[in-house]
Structure 1
Amino acid sequence: MLIAEQGFDGVYVSGAVLSAELGLPDVGLTTSTEVAARAATIARQTDLPVLVDADTGWGGPANVARTVQTFEDAGLAGCHLEDQVDPKRCGHLAGKALVPTEDMCTRVRAAVRGRRDDAFVLCARTDARAVDGLDAAIDRARAYVAAGADMIFAEALTGEDEYAAFRDALDVPLLANMTEFGKSPLLTADTLEKLGVNVVIYPVTLLRLAMGAAEAGLAEIRRTGTQAGVVDRMQNRARLYELLHYDEYGAFDAGLAGYLDEEDPS
C-alpha cells in the first residue's frame, strides 16, 4: 500500500524476504503454496501489477506449470524462474550451481504451456554471470528467450557495461536487481533506463530498513527500559490509520449498521 501511495509502477514479492518472514534462510526451503498464499495477500491490497519470485519452480515441468497457474489464480501479474539447481541459493552468495541450459529451457517451456493468460509475464532469471561468466550468461538468456521467456533477469551483474551487453544481445525486456550488499553496484533508475533496462526491483530494501529500525528499537528498550527515546522514529497511529483507510471502513459500517454513534464519532 505504501508502494502504491508513493507512485511506483509495480510490486515485487521477494523469495528472500518471504523466507526471512518465516525465519528461514533463502536456500529453497519455502514451498509454492506458502509463496502463493503470501503473494495473493499482497496482490489483493493493490491495483499495481505484482511480480513474484518463483525460485526454480518447485519441481519438474508439471510442477512448474502448476506453479504458474497457482500464481495466476492468486492475482499476480508475473513470476520469474531461475536456472539454479534445486535447492537454490541466494543469488549473491558464492557456491551457486546451475542446471544445464536445456533443463532450464524445459522449465521455461513448461511455464509457457501452463500459462492460461497471455498477459502473465514469464521472466527467466540466469545466475550464470557469477558461475560461468558474462558470455555464458548472455548465451543462456538467448536460449531462454527462444524457449518462450518474455523477460530476462540477469542476476549479479557487476557494472554498467554488463547491463549494456545484455541490452545489445537481447530484444526482450530486461530486469535489474538493485539489492544492497551484493555484487551489483546500486545504479539509479535513470542510469538503468539509459542502459536499456525496463524493470528495476529493490527486493530486500524495505525488509532491511524495517529490521534495522526494529533491532535499534529493541536495543533501546533493553538498554533504557522504555521506548520513549525512539518514538520520534515511529509511524504514528494517525498515519497508520490513514494508510489503512480506517475512516472508509467506519463509514461503510455506519451506513449499513450504525457502527458509529453520530454524537460520538471517535
Structure 2
Amino acid sequence: MLHAIPSAADKRKALRAGLDSGRLLKLPGAFNPLSAKLIERHGFHGVYISGAVISADLGLPDIGLTTLTEVAGRAQQIARVTALPSLVDADTGFGEPMNAARTVQVLEDAGVAGLHLEDQVNPKRCGHLDGKDVVELDVAVRRIKAAVAARRDPDFVIAARTDAKSVLGLDEAIRRAKAFADAGADLIFPEALTDAAEFEAFRAAVEVPILANMTEFGKSRLLDARTLESAGVNVVIYPVTLLRLAMHAADTGLREITEQGTQEGLLDRMQHRRDLYDLLDYQRYNAFDDQVFNFRV
C-alpha cells in the first residue's frame, strides 16, 4: 500500500543475489507504475524501465530528447510501487562523465536497483535503428569509471551497454565489453546481437553477467528463455512489449467505438473494475482508513 514494503537497499541486494544465482532473470518493461504492479503479480524477477518507453510515453522519438529529471521521475514512480528491483535505461548518462556520475546518484535516490549506460555518441539513437554511432573506447570507459566512482550503495548495479556490434562489428563489441568489465561494470549489455551464437561469444569473453534485449521488430532474433539460459545469459529484458500490447489494444478499441458508436462489444477485452481494484489493493486502503483516520464522536 502506498509504497512497496522492501526498501531500495533490499531490492538492490535482491538484484545482486539474482545475478549471482545462475538463473535467468526476466525483466519485462513497465510503461507506468500500474504495469509494474502487474509484472510483480505475474512472478517476474524484476522490472525494466526503458528509455524508449519513457520517450514514447512523452510523445517523443527515442533520440536522446528526454532529460535526467524526466527519467528519474518516472523511475521513482515505478520503483515506489513494486517489491521487485528495477533496472533503468540511463542512455549515455545525459552528458559527459561528470553527468554520468550525477545520474548514478540521482537514480540511487529514485530507489531503483541499477542502471545501464551506453557507449553511443550524443544524441543517442534507439539501439535497433540504423544511423547510430559510438564514442571512442576511452571516452566510454571514462563514463563507466565515473559511474562506479559516484556509486554510494555498493549493491547498486551499474551495467555497461555497448552498441558497437552494429557499427564496428562483434570483435570490437567484445573488446569494449571486456574494457567495461575491467572498469567496474557489474553487468554487460551487448545491444542488437542477432542470434544465440553471438551471446555465446560474449559469455565466453567476459566474466561478469550479461544481458539480452529481446525487443520486438528489431535486429535481434526473439530467443526463448531456454535458449538464452543455454547461451549463458543472466538477464533478459522485454522493454517495449507491454506498451506495444496496450497501444494496439487501445487503437483497436478506439476504432470499434468510432465504427460502432459504443464500447459494448469491447467489455470482454477489458480489465474488469474488480480486477483493477484488486491490483491497486483497495481493500488495504479501506482497512487503513478504518484503523487510523475514522473516528466517532
Counterpart of 1:263? Answer: none
Structure 2 counterpart of 1:29, from 65, 80, 83 = 65
Number of matched pairs? 259
The TM-score, its normalising length taken from structure 2, stands at 0.86
What's the secondary structure of 2:121's corresponding residue? coil
Counterpart of 1:150 in structure 2: which amino acid? D
What's the secondary structure of 2:159's corresponding residue? strand
Counterpart of 1:37 in structure 2: which amino acid? G
Distance 1:257 1:122 in 2: 42
Counterpart of 1:213? Answer: 249
- Deviation string for 1:64-105 (max 9, x for gaps)? 111000011111100000000000000000001100011000
% identical aligned pairs: 64
Tell whether 2:50 aligns with 1:14. Answer: yes
Give the deviation of 1:208 after TM superposition.
Answer: 0.2
What's the secondary structure of 1:125's corresponding residue? strand
Give the deviation of 1:194 after TM superposition.
Answer: 1.1
**Structure 1, unaligned stretches of length 5 or more?**
260-266
Structure 2 counterpart of 1:189, from 216, 225, 238 = 225
Counterpart of 2:22? Answer: none
Counterpart of 1:57? Answer: 93
Tell whether 2:158 aligns with 1:122. Answer: yes
223-232 or 24-33: bigger deviation:
223-232
Counterpart of 1:180? Answer: 216
Which one has more relative contact order, counting CA pairs under 8 Å at least 6 apart?
2
What's the secondary structure of 1:81's corresponding residue? strand
The TM-score, its normalising length taken from structure 1, stands at 0.96
Distance 2:208 2:164 in 1: 18
Give the RMSD, CA atoms, in angstroms.
0.8
Tell whether 2:283 aligns with 1:253. Answer: no
Structure 2 counterpart of 1:155, from 160, 182, 191 = 191
Distance 2:66 2:75 in 1: 13
Tell whether 2:285 aligns with 1:229. Answer: no
What's the secondary structure of 1:167's corresponding residue? helix
Tell whether 2:128 aligns with 1:92. Answer: yes
Counterpart of 1:264? Answer: none
**Structure 2, unaligned stretches of length 5 or more?**
1-36
Counterpart of 1:201? Answer: 237
What's the secondary structure of 2:88's corresponding residue? strand
Counterpart of 1:207 in structure 2: which amino acid? L
